[in-house]
Amino acid sequence: MEREQKEKIYRQVAKEIRATLEGETDLTASMATIACLLHHSLDYFFWTGFYRVVAPGELLIGPYQGTLGCLRISFDRGICGAAARSRETIIVPDVHQFPGHIACDSNSRSEIVVPVFNNKGDLIAVLDVDSAEYDAFDEVDKRHLEEIVTFLRGKTTLPL
């Protein structure tokens, strides 16, 4: 996708996400909203969602949009694990070239994984986006997705 077009869509979707989350304190509902709005706004997004840190070194799927994903990923596996370990965004232009990539769906060809932090700076999740196209993600995706996940700060999921 053209850089200008991408920028335009991200600016619009970020605005929509911000408006929808206004006043919402629930973390799960907010993650679901982000996954949904991103997934349906950017046509090169094939799988869009979160893996939450549920135990030391362990990620658990959800909320997400797309085909079936692997349920649990440990920090020592895959691109999600690598981003969780390094606490930095990872862009992989060709997942087949990434040692240890976890192929949940063989249609996935490139990927970006963005760490999600709470207000204290603890890693609480990663946002994982896969594309069926090679080399779909760049600095524009990184900058906007890193900004969008900051909208989750200060939100918590309370037990019912």
The contact set with ligand SME (CB under 6 A) reads 47, 69-70, 73, 78-80, 101-102, 104, 108, 111, 128, 130
Least Å from the CB of residue 85 to ligand SME: 11
Least Å from the CB of residue 132 to ligand SME: 11
Burial grade of 7 (CB within 10 A; 0-12, 13-18, 19 or more): middle
Compare residues 16 and 123 and give the one whose CB is closer to ligand SME: 123
Closest CA to 90 of 108, 107, 70, 110: 110
Sign of CA dihedral 138, 52, 158, 153: negative
E-assigned strand segments in 82-135 = 90-92, 110-117, 123-131
Compare residues 128 and 141 and give the one whose CB is closer to ligand SME: 128
Of all residues in the shown chain, the one whose CB is closest to ligand SME is 78
Least Å from the CB of residue 2 to ligand SME: 26
For the record, the structure tokens of 113 come out as 């994984």
Compare residues 103 and 119 and give the one whose CB is closer to ligand SME: 103
Least Å from the CB of residue 12 to ligand SME: 25
Sign of CA dihedral 117, 135, 59, 22: positive
Residue type at 90 in one-letter notation: I
Compare residues 10 and 78 and give the one whose CB is closer to ligand SME: 78
